[in-house]
Amino acid sequence: MHKITIIKSYFELGSKAADCVEKTLLLPKSSIIFPTGSTPISMYKELVKRKLNWSNTTTYNLDEYMHLKNPEKSYFYYMHKNLFNHTNISSNKTNFLDYKTFSKTKNYGFCADLCILGIGRNGHIAFNEPGGSFDSETRIVELSKQTRKDNSRFFKSIQDVPLKAVTMGLKPIMSSKKIVLLAKGKSKKEILEKAIFEEITEKIPASILQKHDNLKIYYCD
């Protein structure tokens, strides 16, 4: 059975996750899948501070919005602003799910050495919304009302939150050799506990993580 490790501070949450990334960067060749959202920000800050060598790794992003009016809201922009612009990684080693070309790179996260994840309040991981198949591959999805509402804090209004996104599927995510799930805040606690300790069900996409044998879960209030 998996356990949720309770971390004292948000800074420490980032630091724990950064330790896992740092270890992976030391491999002769590695691949890492990264999330976005507010939760991983302290991890990215810590990674930038550590001035690590990124030359042996290739990165992949979990998801991307479609049809954005403002490119600054994209996860491409987020990753450059929060991480890539401050490291020595070369741009041909960072991969994003551009919806126009994603079918070419469909399951690009297959067997990644490390996958860092956040969790949505409805139990989504990446943009795999409740009800989707555990066997899902990388694809275009419709965002749920709840996710659009939750993510509207990053936009001027809910109308500006895209209706669709491209997301890595649960299958390629689960094929990662190691998964680290990060969650912050009381609003995530209930869904996190449901996902990890209750029934494995497609109604709660994150519950599939119970089947992974190399999973770490870090939570802070």
Pairing of strands 114-117, 215-220: unpaired
Please identify, using beta-carbon distances, which residue of 25 and 143 lies nearer to ligand GLP: 143
Is residue 46 annotated as part of the catalytic site, yes or no? no
Please identify, using beta-carbon distances, which residue of 120 and 169 lies nearer to ligand GLP: 120
Q: Which two tokens stand for residue 209?
A: 């993580």
Spatial distance between the Cα atoms of 168 and 151, rounded to a whole number of angstroms: 18
Catalytic residue among 61, 122, 128, 151: 122
Binding mask 16-45 for ligand GLP (x = CB under 6 A): -------------------xxxxx------
Pairing of strands 63-65, 164-167: antiparallel
Binding of residue 120 to ligand GLP (CB under 6 A): yes
Binding of residue 128 to ligand GLP (CB under 6 A): no
Closest distance between ligand GLP and the C-beta of residue 189, in Å? 12
Is residue 129 annotated as part of the catalytic site, yes or no? yes
Binding mask 48-67 for ligand GLP (x = CB under 6 A): --------------xx----
Side-by-side strand order, sheet with 164-167:
63-65, 164-167, 139-142
Closest distance between ligand GLP and the C-beta of residue 17, in Å? 12
Q: Which residue in 109, 118, 162, 169 binds ligand GLP (CB under 6 A)?
A: 118
Spatial CA neighbour of 117 closest among 52, 184, 67, 22 = 184
Is residue 124 annotated as part of the catalytic site, yes or no? yes
Q: Which two tokens stand for residue 180?
A: 């680290």
Q: Which two tokens stand for residue 176?
A: 């990662």
Binding of residue 70 to ligand GLP (CB under 6 A): no
Spatial distance between the Cα atoms of 203 and 205, rounded to a whole number of angstroms: 6
Longest dimension (CA), the chain: 45
Please identify, using beta-carbon distances, which residue of 30 and 39 lies nearer to ligand GLP: 39
* Active site (catalytic) residues: 63, 122, 124, 129
